[in-house]
Amino acid sequence: MNLIFRATAVGLALATSGFIYAKASVPLPVVQQASGIPTLAPVLKKITPAVVGISIKGRAPDGNTQQRKSRDAKPAAVDQQTRAAGSGVVIDARQGLVITNNHVIDRAEEITVQLADGRELAAKLVGGDPDTDIAVIKVPAENLTAIPIGNSDQIEVGDFVLAIGNPFLIGQTVTSGIVSGLNRTNVGIEQYENFIQTDAAIYPGNSGGALVNLRGDLIGINTAFVGATNANPGMAFAIPINMARVVTDRIVETGDVRRGKLGITFEDPTPALVREFKFAAAPTTPIIVKVDPGSPADLAGVKAGDVVTDRAGTPVRDTSQLRSRLGLFWVGDTAELTVVRNGRAAVIRATITDPSRAKATK
């Protein structure tokens, strides 16, 4: 039975629960030679100061929350306070902004950031988004190092990557591997998913840490692992940095994330839907099966039976991918969809608003 774990260490008990050993079966290319020995040390020396440890003090989860998250992390002791540990990445040294996973700082009353040089800084929550599991915290901007931001849209399966974090509360740790898969949307961890899959080992406490390429560019935020055993570290997942930046920019700008509803229900093609909407040939992309009356989609002219092929010029693969992309629209944004109706393509634009003030333009 495969288990899904958020890579957050809860309490000091995890540090004594045993380690999961990863097999370094993937040879890394030579990045730089020091004294004739291949090494990644020069790259890591530049970027590891930007990866921090995070500890919190906060309220213990209630029974319902604990049951819901039982697949995500080992339960904390049931008391008035709980301590948890995770990781974070400095993305703006001048403002002291650190990105992490929302579940790392969930219910936090006190947040402390541990820098690689040993300093501990009190942090304040800027905002978080549980649906994508992204949060931003802020520390005093004193002699901080920010990590270079990469472009996760340019990575490919087979690219070498490094995962950096603070597993098991033992200190900063680096693991290596490759990109094993892209656009993982059916893991079942977040409301909106588009994960990078990697075989670089991610352990409890790595949540919110950095996934970087061999140039040291941040390409993902480490989030969870699946199916780990004592003999196999399982599969690890990271949120692509391009997706994380959309959420981060919104949090920094407004302090919260407000999503509106486009007002459509869509499904992947099935024989029953093909018959219901009388398609001459079975579509390969999501079919809109319902449009809410008075919604932005309705006012924009979207109809049940429309087949969504593109979102803002980017091809749509399936319902999971479309749902994740629509999840990055905020109130006031304009959603642009290309749909096929009666064999003809049309571009429809709808302005995302609060339900009571829905507007749309074609």
CA atoms within 13 A on the CB side of 74: 16
Give the number of other Cβ atoms within 10 Å of residue 354's Cβ: 11
Tokens standing for 78?
Answer: 């049931």
Which of 245, 236, 256, 259 lies closest to 167, judged by CA?
A: 236
For 59, left (φ over 0), alpha (ψ -120 to 50), or beta? beta
How far, in Å, CA of 104 to CA of 56, rounded?
Answer: 8
Strand partners, 265: 290
The verdict on whether 103 is a catalytic residue reads yes
Angstrom distance (rounded) from CA 351 to CA 361: 7
Catalytic residue among 55, 87, 176, 207: 207
Is residue 129 part of the annotated active site? The answer reads no
Active site residue 333: no
| Active-site hit among 55, 87, 103, 217 | 103
Q: Would you give the end-to-end CA distance of the chain in angstroms?
A: 49
Q: Which of 106, 129, 133, 217 is catalytic?
A: 133
Catalytic residue annotation: 103, 133, 207
